[in-house]
Amino acid sequence: MTAVGFFRPEFVESFPAPMEEGALYVSIAYSTCGHLCCCGCGQEVITPLSPAQWSFTYDGENVSLTPSVGNWALSCRSHYWIRKGKVQWSRRYSPDEVAENRERDRHELAQQAGEITGGRFARLRRRLGAWRW
């Protein structure tokens, strides 16, 4: 596989198997986007859509994802933006920066879950105590 410089939007209910190189799949039904990593490694990248994770815009022709896609768990560790279908490469993050981003993401997800459930998530976490999230 080769590196991808542009993604075309494909609106689907669920992602096909296998995914096609250069396709950015958008599932409104599952509030999720998916694509093959644009570095060419062939790994599937899933981006859940939510206020604390990713959002997308569609201008009638192209799709953009916000924020950037940092594939920290993949061996390629690629980091890029998808803006109006075009791939814009970003710098590699240090291990400390990756850890900081992951912690911030966990905090934002927990905060969002607390807002959605009216605080039930926080109360459940207190009751479970040492359970790892």
Q: Write a three-state SS string for 66-91.
A: EEEEECCCCCCCCEEEEECCEEEECC
Closest Cα to residue 44, out of 64, 58, 66, 24?
24
- 83 and 64 Cβ atoms separated by less than 8 Å: yes
- Each residue's pLDDT, cut to its tens digit, for the chain (133 residues) gives 788 999 999 999 999 999 999 999 999 999 999 999 999 999 999 999 988 789 999 999 999 999 989 887 878 888 999 999 999 998 777 778 767 877 776 777 777 766 555 555 455 455 444 444 3
Closest Cα to residue 83, out of 70, 69, 73?
69
Determine how β-strand 79-83 pairs with β-strand 63-70: antiparallel
What pLDDT, on the 0 to 100 scale, is given for residue 22?
A: 96
